[in-house]
């Protein structure tokens, strides 16, 4: 069934290689009324995004096998159909340079692990109410 043209997708793409984290993220996203699409690594997320842009948001772990979260964001920001999707980057690394790199790449918000469910929920709500479209990456 086709979605009316002005209705925003309720799906959220989640990519994380940790099964416990995937379960936690899926649970919170579902409780917020969104439909999670959960994958185990960046390569799977990339494959989905190549053919499907119907997502309300993306939640990506920074470090994953095959393709890292930064690489997924960089790809998304080069594709016009994916630029409108806000991204939450999560990482166990508490490195300000890494955080800055994620924002330069196009992340909307950044959250360091470990976090409690309330922290994630607050960050998720910021992500999902963000009305700005990330700027495309500058050439070079």
* 11: β partners: 35
Q: What is the pLDDT of residue 8?
A: 57
pLDDT in tens, 5-42: 334 579 999 999 999 999 999 999 999 999 999 999 99
| Spatial contact of 35 and 25, defined as CB atoms under 8 Å apart | no
Ordered by where they begin, the domains of the chain are 11-129 (3.40.50.2300)
Structural element, H or E, at residue 77: helix 69-78
> What's the order of all strands across the beta sheet hosting 57-61?
35-39, 11-15, 57-61, 87-91, 109-112
Q: What is the pLDDT of residue 135?
A: 44
pLDDT in tens, 105-124: 999 999 998 898 899 998 88
d(CA 60, CA 58): 6
pLDDT in tens, 71-110: 999 999 999 999 999 999 999 888 888 889 999 999 999 9
Q: Residue 8 is encoded by which pair of tokens? A: 């925003």
DSSP per position, 21-73: HHHHHHHHHHHTT-EEEEESSHHHHHHHHHH----SEEEEESS-SSS-HHHHH
Give the residue carrying structure tokens 């508490």: 94
Q: Residue 83 is encoded by which pair of tokens? A: 């630029």
């Amino acid at each position: 069934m086709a979605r009316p043209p002005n209705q925003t997708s309720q799906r959220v793409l989640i990519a994380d290689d940790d099964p416990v984290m995937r379960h936690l993220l899926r649970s919170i996203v579902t409780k917020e009324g969104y439909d999670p699409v959960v994958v185990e690594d960046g390569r799977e997320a990339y494959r989905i995004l190549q053919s499907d842009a119907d997502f309300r948001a993306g939640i990506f772990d920074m470090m994953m096998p095959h393709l890292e979260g930064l690489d997924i964001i960089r790809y998304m920001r080069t594709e016009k159909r994916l630029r409108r999707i806000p991204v939450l980057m999560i990482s166990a690394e508490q490195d300000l340079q890494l955080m800055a790199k994620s924002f330069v790449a196009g992340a909307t918000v950044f959250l360091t692990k470990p976090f409690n469910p309330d922290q994630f929920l607050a960050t998720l709500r910021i992500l999902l109410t963000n009305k700005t479209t990330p700027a495309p990456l500058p050439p070079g």
